[in-house]
A and B are shown apart, each in its own frame.
Chain A
Amino acid sequence: MVDHKECSLLDEHIASNQRKVSLTCVVNGVEICDTIDPTMTLLHFLRDRLKLFGTKESCGEGECGACTVIMNGKAVTSCIILAIEADGAEILTVEGLAKDGRISILQEEFISEDALQCGFCTPGFLMSTRALLDRNPDPSEEEIKEALAGNLCRCTGYLPILKAVKKAAERERKELK
């Protein structure tokens, strides 16, 4: 039996949540148009609407970096940014790092230096590093630490990550000229 009261209440509830806004952005090179709840975070837009589950949620408070993506060339923690702030923006997530069926140098170095264990923090580290190397192809050790200090990893002890970043930077400078 259909519970009409519940149905109409649910409709009303959904309607009340339906003050929607439209959003246009480019994610991993693909143009996206959507209408969304204005309170939705960029993280949830990527995960729940676009089903890009590579970007992780670990603290939801901007404290761990697991949700880092690149927005207009800058690394941002997507859990504390509203999706609507990305209107008109260009977003890069971990799913956009590999090109033409080949993983990037940065990803290769994370693998070969074993810069990951459980892998949950890895997408965030990759994106913070990508943003760093894009603005500074030859960072010092201090600059790397500064750029990645907002990303937490409980598994690796960071040394393998530091090494992977250094090696990736070196290889990119040589191979991507």
Chain B
Amino acid sequence: MDHSNYQTDYKHVGQPYSRKDAQKKVTGQAQYAIDLDLPGMLYGKWLLSPHARAKILSIDTSAAKALPGVKAVITGEETDILVGLYMQDKLAMAKGETRYQGEVVAAVAAVDLQTAEKAISLIKVDYEPLKPVLDVDEALDGDILVHEDINELKHVEGVFFPQKDSNIASLNKAKRGDVDKALQEADIVVESEFSLPAVAHAPMETHVTIVQADPYSNRIVVWSSAQSPFALRQMLAHSFKISESDIEVNIPFVGGAFGGKAGIHLEPLATLLSKAANGAPVKLIPTREEEFNQLPTRAGMRGHIITGAKKDGKITAVKVVYDWDSGAYADYGVNVGKTAVYSGIGPYDIENAAVVSKTIYTNKVFSTAYRGFGHLETHWTIERQMDIISQKLGIDPLDLRMKNLLEPGSRTISGELISESSGSVKDCLAAVVKEIGWTGRKTEEERRKEWATGKVRGKGFAVLQKAPAMPANTSTSVIMQMTGDGRVKMMIGAIDYGQGANTTMAQIAAQELDLPIDRVEVVENLSTQTNPYDWNTVASKYTFMGGNAVIRASRDMLRQMKDIAAQVLHSTADHLAHGGGYIYHIHNPERRIAYEQLALGYQYPDGSGIGGPLISHGVYMADGLTNLDHETGQGKPALVWTFGAHAVDLEVDVETGSITILKVASAFDIGQVINEKLIYGQICGGVLQGLGSAILEGYKFSPDNRLLNPSFTDNKIPTMKDMPIEVVPIYIENPQKNGPYGARGVGEHPMISVPSAVGNAVYDALGINFHVLPLSPEAIVLGILSGKESILCTDVNCLPGCY
């Protein structure tokens, strides 16, 4: 299928318009935070802890302070600014103790970057290195506490549950039915463990931040490469104990985010530096190395799963424990852990289920949200396990899934009823297996034959689900104004960091108002001073929530136009319709008024006017969601599920271990395509990011928890040579009743379950079950050489024990 063949019945919704900001981006005009050059601006730099865990005995900043051109030097000793999203567990700078290699210990602001760097090199810190908590096992032993004050840490109560005297930042759970009984009664019980390492977001623009903090008032102005301006404003206000209205957050173009720029990052540090430098704007530009080892990452994860099934393939019980290696701070990590509970058994209807999810502190770089918000990781567990069950039962993995997938009438683990309006995961799976021509697994015989050629083909697939992970009362808003020439300008609360929110929202407004797309503009470069509120630009929620808000704003605008037009045309509003830029009478379309005649108020021939400048707004607040019961996990967490499936056709070189991805077919039940070109982009990009996690990416730590690969040389992300030969997007459109034109979000989903589908295809090719990511060439070769059927560890360093 050529992706440009998509057909839509609408004039604007579904059209593959080019993104509105594209011309600025291809001419170099788009300004990112890194391009901003403010008068009097200073440059910040910081000193990072070289130890994973250490006592700070003393810091000598005298030489740095004496260096000409240095305007401010600060250390954690002088400040108590707490930063924390869900757990108040992090200081803006380390004080007394450092908890990961990469934590900020001291910082300077100077007239230029060179001087700042020089000053940093002059700061002397005396550390007493302490034994770090290396991994989740050590953390769960609890001999050393990463946060000794865990019992006192402030946190969002009733949602997150830190465990007393432990390294568990939050323990969340859900259950349905009687798992233990069902496991006893099952014909077959399969127990497995799967894991994957921490992975970097690697946005091309690092977390660049500029702050100007007025020394004479509480006023703070921020320019940041961030994706959640309103959450950032709220958290900064909280940290500095000032009002949100004291803070102005400006977001220019953002060079990639992927969840890593949600929340708050370098802004508190930049604020402290600006204050110390008497209110000069201070710019912080993390280097690529700092982006890797200082700024947060995706958590590593280990999933332990026990599944019970009947001989016919009906799954009767599943019990999962997820252990998240969240590093030194909880950040968004605890919320990932929470999400793993209500989405933790995948899109399956399993009567008896229990999930426990622990977000665990270790002395590593801390974790945060990353595209998919834990779902790539949980689906690595669930979807590989499904394949293993199908092997054990001798049932085709397609049939096994079809027998157990959610369908209208099923309930999720949190008790939510799935309806026709929820979308269909079965439709997605059916579409992708058809696209790759699945006819069943290879036989041993077929495998052996191909093996002799040095290259083995394999096919595999996996399903997926995700709903926005957000508070039950999440909201968004839109302001719409009409200019004198009858065009529309909208201000929205979301950031367009490349996902195309501005273009999608313009299309929905164009559709509602029946205006040409070039007459609708979403104002670029958001400021919290002017733009209306949105919670966070995360969670694939904006097409749904923002789209609904835009529809409301458009309808409000039309209503206002019709009210005035009714008076002018001596009619009533309900006899009027709109189209082609006019409000007209339904029985006599020639009785009409152009939008531009109403835009600033209608003027009668005698010069007098009625109405006034047209301005409307639309809000959308999540409807019907609730917090989850702590013991049972029951409640309503999901605004809208988007289901999907990937199927992969690949080739493994049995000599080199390298995997060539021949084809990926990806289907998502998105309800309604709003912009086919943009969705295709999300799919191609997400699939490759997922392939990165599958075969390439991962943090490596030394025995004392130093990050060994903080660069693109050693922490590779996919290049053009790693992309699949073919990506086939498939759009399933079972409409979501309350979605804008029936649409659901799909920003994160293309990344989820890609590793699972690859792992399943590798099994088809080699007959080996890999349980650990990434499936790097070394891992594959060592797996083959081991002669084992299950590879539980791919750490080359622990050979030969594991192999």
Contacts and interface: CB of A to CB of B under 8 A. Distances in A.
Contact of B18 (A111, A154, A159): A111
Contacts of B22: 110-111, 114, 116, 119
Q: Of B717, B720, B724, which is in contact with the most chain A CB atoms at under 10 Å from its CB?
A: B720
Contact of B23 (A13, A47, A103): A103
B204 A121 contact: yes
B218 to A, nearest CB: 28
Contacts of B724: 159
Contacts of B718: 158
Interface majority SS on B: helix, strand, loop or mixed? loop
Contacts of B681: 114, 117, 155-157, 160
Contacts of B28: 52-55, 93-95, 123
A34 interface: no
A94 B27 contact: yes
B498 interface: yes
Interface residue tally of chain A, by bracket? 35 or more
Contacts of B31: 53
Interface in B709-752: 711-713, 717-721, 723-724, 727
Interface stretch (A19-27, A56-64, A83-91, A169-177): A56-64
Interface in B424-474: none
Contacts of A36: none
A76 interface: no
A123 B689 CA distance: 21
Interface in A140-159: 144-145, 148-159
B37 A51 contact: yes
Contact of B685 (A47, A63, A117, A122): A117
B677 A103 contact: no
Interface string B641-678: 00000000000000000000000000000000000011
Contacts of A112: 18
Given A56-B34, A122-B25, A154-B204, A114 B723 contact: no
A166 to B, nearest CB: 13
Contacts of B287: 60
A63 B711 CA distance: 9
A162 B720 contact: yes
Contact of B256 (A51, A59, A114, A118): A118
B205 to A, nearest CB: 5
B255 A119 contact: yes
Nearest to A93: B28
A97 to B, nearest CB: 7
A66 B688 CA distance: 19
A20 B383 CA distance: 62
Q: Of A13, A61, A122, A159, which is in contact with the most chain B CB atoms at under 10 Å from its CB?
A: A159
A164 to B, nearest CB: 10
Contacts of A123: 28
B68 A58 contact: no
Contacts of A117: 19, 256, 497-500, 681, 685
Q: Of B203, B204, B205, B678, which is in contact with the most chain A CB atoms at under 10 Å from its CB?
A: B204
Contacts of A95: 27-28
Interface residue tally of chain B, by bracket? 35 or more
B717 A154 contact: yes
A50 interface: no
Interface in A88-129: 93-95, 97-98, 103, 107, 110-112, 114, 116-123, 126
Q: Of A51, A111, A162, which is in contact with the most chain B CB atoms at under 10 Å from its CB?
A: A111
Nearest to A52: B28
Contacts of B203: 118, 120, 154
B719 to A, nearest CB: 5
A155 B720 contact: no
A161 interface: yes
A17 interface: yes
B684 A156 contact: yes
Q: Of A116, A120, A150, which is in contact with the most chain B CB atoms at under 10 Å from its CB?
A: A120
A118 B68 contact: no
B500 A12 contact: no
Contacts of B680: 114, 160
Contacts of B34: 56-57
A33 interface: no
B689 A151 contact: no
B25 A119 contact: yes
Contacts of B201: 154
A1 interface: no
Nearest to A44: B113
B256 A154 contact: yes
Contacts of B68: 6, 9-10, 12-13
A3 to B, nearest CB: 11
B443 to A, nearest CB: 33
B743 to A, nearest CB: 19
Given A53-B28, A97-B27, A103-B27, A118 B712 contact: no
A152 B716 CA distance: 10
Nearest to A10: B68
Q: Of B69, B114, B255, B689, which is in contact with the most chain A CB atoms at under 10 Å from its CB?
A: B255
A55 B30 CA distance: 11
Contacts of A152: 202, 204, 712, 717, 719
A4 to B, nearest CB: 13
Contact of B723 (A55, A63, A158): A158
A161 B499 CA distance: 16
Contacts of A64: 204, 288, 712
9 contacts: A56-B255, A57-B34, A111-B26, A117-B256, A118-B203, A119-B22, A154-B202, A154-B204, A157-B686
Sorted nearest first, the 9 A-B pairs with minimum C-beta distance are: A54-B28, A120-B255, A119-B25, A117-B498, A157-B684, A118-B498, A157-B688, A13-B68, A53-B35
Interface of A: 6, 9-10, 12-14, 17, 47, 51-61, 63-64, 66, 93-95, 97-98, 103, 107, 110-112, 114, 116-123, 126, 144-145, 148-162
Interface of B: 18-19, 21-32, 34-35, 37, 67-69, 114-115, 201-206, 253-258, 285, 287-288, 497-500, 677-678, 680-681, 683-689, 711-713, 717-721, 723-724, 727
